[in-house]
Amino acid sequence: SAVISQKPSRDICQRGTSLTIQCQVDSQVTMMFWYRQQPGQSLTLIATANQGSEATYESGFVIDKFPISRPNLTFSTLTVSNMSPEDSSIYLCSVVRGLNTEAFFGQGTRLTVV
């Protein structure tokens, strides 16, 4: 398993501002991912956080809006930039220790943009 700490757990933000979400894992992991869960919807992959290089974004997500850092094998951040009410969602960090193995998730960050 993996112990994943995600901060903050929730926040209410003004439109036009930015929020950085942190994801800390208890030990080194190969792969880290960021997902979004919009209200009443299932999870959608935003990007794969690559250690030491730029993140790989899924269709519909861009670096300017969701910059991601991954400075080492246990930590990553996701920034939601220039927020609008449409960005109100739960953002979840996920890790996988090895290829095609079990995925584990943090408790999520519930973001409300007003």
Beta-carbon contacts of residue 63 (< 8 Å; ≥ 6 apart): 54, 55, 57
Q: Does 17 bind another protein (CB under 8 A)?
A: no
**How many residues interact with another protein (rule CB under 8 A)?**
26
Which span (19-27, 61-69, 80-88, 97-105) binds another protein, by CB under 8 A?
Answer: 97-105
**Six-digit token pair at 75?**
């930590």
DSSP state string for 64-89: TTS-EEEEETTEEEEEE-S--GGG-E
Task: Specify the stretch interacting with another protein by CB under 8 A; choose among 17-25, 29-37, 65-73, 75-83.
Answer: 29-37
Q: Which of 48, 69, 81, 112 binds another protein (CB under 8 A)?
A: 48
Go through 8-37 and write b for each residue having 16 or more CB atoms within 10 A of its CB, e for each that does not: eeeeebeeeeebebbbebeeebebbbbbbe
Among 33, 55, 70, 80, binds another protein (CB under 8 A): 33
| 56-85 residues near another protein, rule: CB under 8 A | 56, 58
Residues within the interface to another protein (CB under 8 A): 6, 31, 33, 35, 42-45, 48, 56, 58, 90, 92, 94, 96, 99-108, 110
